[in-house]
Amino acid sequence: MSHHPEARPSHGPDAMAGVEFLGFDVFGTVVDWRSGVARAAAPFLDRHRIAVDPLAFADEWRALYQPSMEEVRSGRRPWVRLDILNLENLRVVLTRHGVAIDGIAAEDLAALNRCWERLDPWPDSVEGLTRLKRRFAIGALSNGHLAGMMRLARFGGLHWDIIVGAEVARSYKPRPETYLRSAEAVGLPPAQVGMIAAHNEDLRAARALGLRTVFVRRPTEHGPAQTTDLAPTEHWDVEADSLIAAADALGC
């Protein structure tokens, strides 16, 4: 199969030679978290008369994602799953907007927090994953927790062979152990694992440990005014504009 014009392998005709498993970043790379969170937040905000734009609310909630994980990565806080961090962050955002948290039922907050398990894949994701799976074992290598990744896969039709990542490693990307313990869990050395992500930092951390790298552009992950990760900041093994283009580049 000829290479897709929007995919640019950086290191020869077969950049994934010897690779047996592809691990995928999920939030932003495979699924569109912003639209899904906003969709779930809209009726919640309306019901509780919270005057915040749902997309802005999604952005505020997501902005607390990295700082909360950093508390765990730094060792200032013991390991805790992402769903717990997300729920804590939800309460912070609501409090910022003057919401009396005690006036909202815990079940209502928990239901909204589960929106992270009901996010639509990008339009190319399911086809791209299906094709890549013909050649490679594939799995989520995400900061998400196992149960959430399972439900998200069922919601979006993501046919993973396995889910690894943060909960398996009890650490969050880009900490080295997240990648190394995930590789160990699939029974492979890092050199036989490829990392697929829309985030340069994720790929930089993976490559430093010997993993192969595929950059997929998601220029609207953070909305139309996105300024980050619009292009590769280094030469990755494969650079593509979609998971379909990545499949083309890898002969899948």
Q: What pLDDT, on the 0 to 100 scale, is given for residue 102?
A: 87
Banded model confidence at residue 15, pLDDT cuts 50, 70, 90: confident
**Pairwise CA distance, residues 230 & 245, whole Å:** 16
In angstroms and rounded to an integer, the radius of gyration of the C-alpha atoms of the chain is 18
**Pairwise CA distance, residues 180 & 159, whole Å:** 23
* C-beta separation of 10 from 236 below 8 A: yes
* C-beta separation of 72 from 117 below 8 A: no
Class of domain 39-117: mainly alpha
Residue in the block written with tokens 């930089």:
204
Give the pTM: 0.93
Residue 237 makes CB contacts below 8 A (sequence gap 6+) with: 9, 10, 11, 15, 16, 194, 212, 213, 214
Q: What pLDDT, on the 0 to 100 scale, is given for residue 9?
A: 45
Q: What pLDDT, on the 0 to 100 scale, is given for residue 108?
A: 95
Region(s) of the chain under CATH 1.10.150.240: 39-117
Reading the block at residue 126, the tokens are 């399911």
Whether the pLDDT of residue 196 is over 90: the answer is yes
Question: Domain 8-32+119-249 belongs to what architecture?
Answer: 3-Layer(aba) Sandwich (3.40)
Biggest distance spanned by C-alpha atoms of the chain: 59
Q: What is the pLDDT of residues 70-112, one digit of tens each?
A: 999 999 999 999 999 999 999 999 999 999 888 899 999 999 9
Q: What is the pLDDT of residues 32-68, one digit of tens each?
A: 999 999 999 999 999 999 999 999 999 999 999 999 9
Region(s) of the chain under CATH 3.40.50.1000: 8-32+119-249
Residue 134 makes CB contacts below 8 A (sequence gap 6+) with: 252
Whether the pLDDT of residue 246 is over 70: the answer is yes
User: What is the rounded average pLDDT of the residues 213-223?
Assistant: 97
**Pairwise CA distance, residues 12 & 29, whole Å:** 24
